[in-house]
Structure 1
């Protein structure tokens, strides 16, 4: 039995940043466990630049960013154990762990869940057809290319138009595979306009919008995909030997679920308040487990935010009573965090995070409670599918602590 002061489950940007902040602030023994051979999370597989702008105030490649966060946590005094997997929970609430050293239990004073998110594979998206080789998610592709240095095909179709989709295009180029087509079900690719423009001009990847893959074709190796235009219903076959399914994220919530923590129907991650407490006393959550999926540096800032709240817990501050629920109205799919309590801090960076299913160039956000409009504001940035939409939490200032659910939508 190990008894650290804080157990951080997950060694990605959120977990490592939380560990560095906690250890640096004198929170005692901070133990980070991660099932991978090295800490760092998804960025260590992403061998391209663009990481660290908001948290480290510099731009790094994914592997360099992962090393920087790992080194910071280690230098602060955090104990990082890799190849170490939490497999469940004991009856007394301790985490059951398996590692090369054997099986053991960990009973901390506080726990931070930072297990991140993953892309849905083809099987979860219910794409019919053959089952050939050459079909990946972005994570599988990057692991294959950057970690195991294995070849992929020569001509690829990328399913999805998010930021991670362009990351997949860069990885394919580096592996000598031509990203011949990107397909998106939306009227415009989900990524930021600057990335879409750069991808089309620099990477020369054509984007087929309002399009979906309806079938994978190939015996042994992928030979083609069948694609359909959603407005016309017209189908055609596109030759390729590689298919990469990108985006369509789901949180790695198995540990939260088996712990009996309340999950949100929208995010599928734990329900949290603005202090990132879960429904289980002494257990916090941070990063893309809560908002699948945001950029690595935003997940890291979540880790910084949760560390302050964990320290308050270690000092004897206990979780308040039930707070005010927040809910998302159409076209939003979810909002995070989901609970507002008096005297709690604002959410990380003073922002509520939402996910939209429609593109709105000039979104007019409306906050309502008990049928009454609390606030309206037109924001200068668009609400777009495939990326997190940020709303200033100050729009909730007029919410009544004794009122009903606060609903956030668009006029």
Structure 2
């Protein structure tokens, strides 16, 4: 049987979103050699391509742009730096530990790179994954599906919508619905407070006129052919009522696109479900790194981009043969935290991107007292001035780990 053609770039980056494109621009611009970006979509840029509102680029570019403009900027930067961006190009599996199997309009081929960066991002859980019962009508979307339909394909949606979730992306869905001529009639959140920042919730309620029902869940979707209503339940009282709508948007509740990491046998973190990484963003497979929302689903696009910038330094060290990781200790998130990223601390490694550890909490704390423990002793305890809230990433300074023993046991991060 004839073997597919083989390409041997210096770096293969899988995923052309903010993390992958920023890593490509950094690596190509710093002399990494042939940097190949494989992206399965028709155009590179990731989610921002069809997120047609402002707010992108603040942390990484120090400017504010719309999503499509931000995506075009990242593509242009990577291309001008010399990266080879191939769209409609899907990595479907692995021929061996260092060889990716690729399918594109040009046919099938193999890519064996000296270093690989996984930047495949994350996706929202659809209705089926959330096990919401009822009918199966038209008009039920995730935010990504909605924005793709409206902004890329310019298709109409309904006239009256219910938004499930109260995260930042939920307000993005509300803006998209308004632009499509659909009225967001209600936003529902299971938490006592909507997960988004208070300023966004206040603006959404006053400017967009979207009421928010907290401690509420959707228990049933109703409609034959087209959605007609949803049934919602208040979690504290058990009272149920119907809300008329012809559109339902399930937002947030993110899961990493980890299929390639999993099929490669790369160790996954039980909390994030993305690859287990250290602060240099190495995975368990030598020469394979990961960046962006594959690791911490889900953070803003500019934070994902800064992950791409951060990983470039370690990739370059690997290409130079100077990347020799020392043994490390595990970082473990204790309740109410669901996960922490990254999860391994090595004494010789750089601080994580932006000097921050990222965590996800299931409970709201206005002034969280973060406690770091190792081997039964308290390493650090600090009350932070920003809240820990469900539905958005909670950031803590990595300097809180300064007293951790590199030869000790696992490090537990909790509250109290």
TM-score range for the pair, normalised by the shorter chain length: over 0.9
What is aligned with 2:325?
320
CA distance in 2, matches of 1:331, 1:270: 22
CA distance in 2, matches of 1:22, 1:47: 28
String of CA shifts for 1:26-55, please: whole Å, max 9, x gaps: 100000000000000000010000000000
Matched ranges for 1:5-404 at <5 A: 5-91=10-96, 93-404=98-409
Secondary structure of 1:132's match?
A: coil
Instruction: Give structure 1 regions of 4+ aligned residues with deviation exceeding 4 angstroms.
Output: none
Secondary structure of 2:37's match?
A: strand
8 Å Cα contact 1:367-1:373 kept in structure 2: yes
CA distance in 1, matches of 2:327, 2:286: 12
String of CA shifts for 1:202-227, please: whole Å, max 9, x gaps: 00000000000000000000000000
CA distance in 1, matches of 2:273, 2:30: 32
8 Å Cα contact 2:97-2:264 kept in structure 1: no
8 Å Cα contact 1:281-1:319 kept in structure 2: no
TM-superposed CA distance for 1:323, in Å, is: 1.0
8 Å Cα contact 1:210-1:229 kept in structure 2: yes
TM-superposed CA distance for 1:91, in Å, is: 2.7
8 Å Cα contact 1:13-1:296 kept in structure 2: yes
CA distance in 1, matches of 2:217, 2:295: 28
What is aligned with 2:3?
none
Aligned-residue CA RMSD (Å): 0.6
CA distance in 1, matches of 2:326, 2:239: 55
- Number of aligned residue pairs: 411
The answer to whether 1:406 aligns with 2:406 is no
CA distance in 2, matches of 1:317, 1:362: 42
Secondary structure of 2:403's match?
A: coil
TM-superposed CA distance for 1:319, in Å, is: 3.8
CA distance in 1, matches of 2:325, 2:96: 25
Per the normalisation by structure 2, the TM-score is: 0.98
Secondary structure of 1:35's match?
A: coil
Secondary structure of 1:22's match?
A: helix
Per the normalisation by structure 1, the TM-score is: 0.99
CA distance in 2, matches of 1:362, 1:340: 26
